[in-house]
Amino acid sequence: MEYYTWILTFHIMAVMSWMAMLFYLPRLYVYHVENKNKKDFVDVVKIQEFKIYKYIGAPAMWATIISGAVMLYLNPYLLSGETGGWMHAKLLVVFFLIIYSFSLEKYRKELEIENYKKSGNFFRAYNEVPTILALLIVGYVITKTFSILFTIITLVIGAFIVYKVFNQKPKEAK
> Binding residue per annotation — 32?
no
SS3 readout for the chain:
CCCHHHHHHHHHHHHHHHHHHHHHHHHHHHHHHHCCCCHHHHHHHHHHHHHHHHHHHHHHHHHHHHHHHHHHHHCHHHHCHHHCCHHHHHHHHHHHHHHHHHHHHHHHHHHHCCCCCCCHHHHHHHCCHHHHHHHHHHHHHHHCCCCHHHHHHHHHHHHHHHHHHHCCCCHHHC
Q: Any binding-site annotation on 11?
A: yes
Annotated binding site for heme: 11, 90
Annotated binding site: 11, 90
